[in-house]
Chain A
Amino acid sequence: MTKITYREAVRIGLREALQRDPRVFLMGEDVGKYGGTYACSKGFLDEFGPERIRDTPLSESTFVGAGIGAALGGMRPIVEVMTVNFSLLALDQILNNAATLRHMSGGQFSVSLVVRMATGAGRQVAAQHSHSLEGWYAHIPGITVLTPATVTDARGMLLTALHEPDPVFIFEHAYLYSIEGELEEGPPAVDISRAAVRRTGKDVSLMTFGGSVWKALAAAAQLAHEGIEAEVVDLRVLRPLDTGAILASVQKTHRAVVIDEAWRTGSFAAEIAAQIMEGAFYDLDAPVARVCSEEVPIPYPKHLEDAALPQPEKIVRAVHRLLGRG
C-alpha cells in the first residue's frame, strides 16, 4: 500500500476523471494557472489545456450556475468552490436550480453536476474561512452530500460522483489536505451509499464525518488505554444517510456520541441523534451525547479556535459522562 496525502488523492481522482471522460472539465477560482488553492489541480492546465481547466472570475453564483447549464448541455462539469463560506454566494443556484430542476420539470432534466469545496476549521483563518456548513446542504432533497475523510474516499468518491445523474456536493475538510494515508487496493471508484466503521468497539459509538473522523479515532485510542472500546462510524454520506449503519452500531454498543464541527444548535448531529431516538431508543443505555462547535464564529487565536471546536479530549469526556465516569 502507498502512503499519499489527501491533497494528492484528490489530485489523482481529478486527473483520472479528466483522462477517462472527455465530457469532464474542471472550473473554478484559480484551478488553472495558480494550480488550485490547495494545489489539487497543479499542472492540469498544461496537461489538459484551457478548454478543460477553466479559471473563472470570482463569480460563485454564475460559475456554479454555468456548471448546471453545462451539465444540462451534456457535459460532466466538476466545479470547485474555494471554501464552503464562499459557496453561500452560489446558494441560489444550488438550491433553486441544481437541486430543484429535476422535480420542477417533472423529471425531464437531470443535473449531473459535481461541486467540490473545502470546509472546516483548524488553520487559524478566522470567521469567514472556517465554517462547517455541509449539514445545511444535507438538508436539501435532490442532491447527494459526501464528506470524504480518507485518501481512498478523497480519490474514489469523486470518480463515483461523476457517474451520478443528479448533483453531488463533496466537502473536503481543509485540515485533511496535508494528512497522509494509505490508498487502499481495489477499484478506484468507491461506494457512496454506505457509512464505514473505521474502528470497531462494543462500549460506545462515536458517530462522525469528515475532519472529525480523525479526532474520534484519536479519542478512541485514548479510551482504549482505559479499557473502553469505542466504535468509530464514519458517516461518509450525509445525504442520503445510511441510517441502517447508525442504528446497527447503536444496537451493538447501546451508547452514542455524535461529533460534528458545525455549531450545536440545528447541527447535523441533531439529525443523527433524532434518527437514533426514532430507530433505536430502546437500545440506548444513556441519552445520545453531542460534541459540536461552540456557538461562536470561529476565532483567530489558536487557543480560542481550539476551544471552539470538537477535540479528542472533549469526546473522551463525553464518553466518560455517558459511562458514568465523569
Chain B
Amino acid sequence: MTYSMPREQGLQLLRHMLRIRRFEERAAELYQLGKIRGFLHLYIGEEAVAVGSIPSFTSEDAIVATYREHGHALVRGTSMGTLMAELYGKATGCASGRGGSMHFFDASRRFYGGLAIVAGGLPVAVGLALADKLQGRARVTGCYFGDGAVAEGEFHESLNLAALWKLPVLFLCENNLYAMGTALARHQSQTDIAAKAQAYALPAETVDGMDPLAVETATRHAVEFVRNGNGPYFLEYRTYRFRAHSMYDAELYRTKDEVAEWKRRDPIMTFEQTLRTARLLADTDLQNIETEIATEIEDAVAFAEASSWEPVEQLTKNVCTPKT
C-alpha cells in the first residue's frame, strides 16, 4: 500500500473505520446483555469498503444499502446516538425504532435503507436513478449489496435495465465470499463477479476491499464516471467478514485458518501501519482518536438508554401516510 493522500484525509479514514469497529463491538456486548435483539449483522472486517466509498458521494446523491449497513450509515453522517437508539428499538432511533439493525433509514441524508431482502435494493436503486435521469439531475445512486445477491434474478434484471437505459447508478458489490454460509464457488458457476457485470455491457472492475485507499480511488473515479452521464458502473470490492453471519453461527462453512489468514489483512491494522510508515500517525494521534470514539459511543449508549419506547397506542402509525 503506497500512501498518497493528505494526512487529515488519511486520519479520517482510520477514524471512521475505528468508529465502525468500536460501535459494533459495543453493539455485540449490548446484544449479550439483551439490550439489542433480533438479528445483528456485524460489518467487522469489511470497514474499508464503506469508509473508502461513501465519502465519494455528495449529500444530493442517494445510498441504498443492505442489512449489514451500520458502517454505511455511520460514514454517511447519521448520528451514532440515533443509530444506537434504533438498535435498541427506541422511538428516537433513525427509523423510530421500527426497523432495528437491518433497517437504518435517514431521509435527510438520502439513505434509503437498510433493506434486508437480498438483491431487493437493486431495483429500487435503478428507480431512484431513473427519477434523477428523468428530472435532469446530476445525481448518482450508490447501491450496495453482497456476493449472495448475484444469484438473485433482480441482480441480473437490474444491471440489464440500468445499462439499457444508461441510468446514473453505481453498483457496489461487497464480496465477502459467503452468501451467509455458502461460499461463492459453491453457488456460482462463474465466480468472477465483475465479469458477470461486464456481460450486461457496463464497465466493471475489481477492487481490494481491505484497502481503504484502493476503495477510495476506485469509487471516486466510478462516481465521476456515472455523474458525467456515462451510464452505470460496477465495482466489486473483495473483502471478508471476520465475525459470524449474524451474532452467532458455528462457522462450519469455513476454516479457522482461512479466517486467520484474512485477519492478517485487517483493514484497520494494515492502514494504521501504512500511516505509521508514512510517519503520519503517532501513538498520541491514535489515543486521541480512540478517546473521541469511546466518548461518542458512551454518549450514544446513554442516549439510547435514556430514550423512550414508542407508546403502544401508536402501533399502527406510519403504515399509511396520514390524510391531510
Report whether A68 and B123 are in contact in the complex, using a CB–CB cutoff of 8 Å: yes
Residue in B99, B105, B130 whose beta carbon sits within 8 Å of that of A70 in the complex: B130
B130 in contact with A166 (CB, 8 Å):
no
Q: A109 contacts which chain B residues (CB < 8 A)?
A: 105, 107, 112
> Taking the complex as formed, is B120 at the interface, i.e. its CB lies under 8 A from any CB of chain A?
yes
Chain A residue numbers with a CB within 8 Å of B319 are: 102-103, 141-142
Enumerate B124-181 residues with CB–CB distance to A below 8 Å: 124-132, 134-135, 141, 153-154, 157-158, 160-161, 164-165
- Tell whether A66 pairs with B123 under 8 Å between CB atoms, given A51-B134, A102-B321, A108-B105: yes
B124 to chain A, nearest CB (A): 4
A75 touches B131 (CB 8 A): yes
The reply to whether B124 and A69 form a contact with Cβ atoms under 8 Å apart is yes
Residues of A within 8 A of B316 (CB): 141
- Is A65 located at the chain interface by the 8 A CB criterion? yes
Stretch at the interface among B3-11, B90-98, B184-192, B230-238: B90-98
- Min distance, Cβ A126 to any Cβ of chain B, angstroms: 24
A/B pair count, beta carbons within 8 Å? 147
Contact with B along A56-88 (1 / 0, CB 8 A): 110101111111111111110100000000000
Residues of B within 8 A of A74 (CB): 131, 135
The CA-CA distance from A195 to B131 in the complex, in Å, is 35
Out of B95, B125, B141, B157, which one reaches A108, CB within 8 Å? Answer: B95
Q: Does A105 contact B (CB under 8 A)?
A: yes
* Residues of chain B within 8 A of A279, CB atoms compared: none
Kindly provide the distance from the CB of B226 to the nearest chain A CB, expressed in whole angstroms.
15
Q: Which residues of A contact B141 (CB under 8 A)?
A: 69
Q: A169: which B residues are within 8 A, CB to CB? A: none
CA distance A61 to B96 in the complex (A): 28
Evaluate contact between B93 and A66: CB separation under 8 angstroms.
Answer: no
Known: A73-B132, A93-B120, A102-B321. A107 touches B96 (CB 8 A): yes
Does any Cβ of B come within 8 Å of A35's Cβ? no
> Which one of B99, B122, B128, B131 contacts A106 once the chains associate, using CB atoms below 8 Å?
B99
Q: How far is the CB of B139 from chain A (nearest CB, A)?
A: 9
- Can you give 18 contacting A-B residue pairs, CB < 8 Å? A51-B134, A61-B153, A62-B158, A63-B123, A65-B124, A66-B130, A72-B131, A73-B129, A96-B117, A101-B113, A103-B319, A104-B105, A104-B114, A106-B95, A106-B99, A107-B318, A108-B105, A110-B321
Given contacts A69-B128, A72-B131, A109-B107, 5 further A-B contacts (CB under 8 A): A57-B157, A62-B122, A64-B123, A68-B123, A106-B99
Please report B residues at the A interface, Cβ cutoff 8 Å.
62, 93-99, 103, 105-107, 112-115, 117, 120, 122-132, 134-135, 141, 153-154, 157-158, 160-161, 164-165, 316-321
